[in-house]
Amino acid sequence: MSNIYIREAEAPDLEELLLLYSVLYGKNVLKKDKEMERIWNRMLTDQHYHVIVAEEDDRIVSTCTCVIIQNLTFEHRPYAIVENIVTHSEYRAQGLATACLQEAKSIASEAGCYKITLSTASKLPSTHKFYEKLGYNKESLTAFTQWLD
C-alpha cells in the first residue's frame, strides 16, 4: 500500500464512485446524467450525509456511506445508518473498508449517535464475519426490507 487517504467525497469524485459502485453490482448499472448530478450535489451539501472514500494514488478504491438520522427517542439522540460498502477487488484485505467504517463510526460518535446500523445485501459468511469483527452485531436488531418499485 502506498499513500492512502480516508476522507469525505467531493464533487469531482462522482465518476470514480460510479466505477466503484459498478464493482458492488458486478456490472455498470449507474449512468451519470443531470438527475444523478442533482442528487450528488444534494448529498454533498447535506450535513447529515457522508460519503467516505479511501483514496490511493489519486484513485478511489473503497467507500461507504454514513447517514445521520435525527431522532425523537433515546433522549433525542440521532442514529447512523451505514450502507454502500465496497472495495475494489484489487484492493481488498488491506484494511481500506475497515478504515472507511472506522471513519463512519467517528462521524456517528461526533454527532452524538446512540447506535450505528450497517446494512448489507451480502449473504457471504466471510462478509458477515468481517462486520462482526468490527463490532457489528447481527443478533441485536431485526431489520426487514421491503423493496419498492
Residue 50's H or E segment, with its range, is strand 49-56
Report pLDDT digits (tens) over 100-124.
999 999 999 999 999 999 988 888 8
Residues 11, 50: Cα–Cα separation, whole Å: 12
Residues 65, 91: Cα–Cα separation, whole Å: 18
Q: Are 64 and 101 in contact (CB under 8 A)?
A: yes
pLDDT band at 146 (very low <50, low <70, confident <90, very high): confident
pLDDT at 29: 65
Report pLDDT digits (tens) over 45-104.
999 999 999 998 888 999 999 999 999 999 999 999 999 999 998 888 888 999 999 999
Residue type at position 59: R
| Cα dihedral sign, 49-127-92-120 | negative
Q: Domain limits of the chain?
A: 4-133
Alpha helices in 26-112 (DSSP H): 34-45, 96-110
Query: CATH number for the 4-133 domain, one of 3.40.630.30, 3.30.2350.10, 3.50.50.60, 3.40.50.10490?
Result: 3.40.630.30
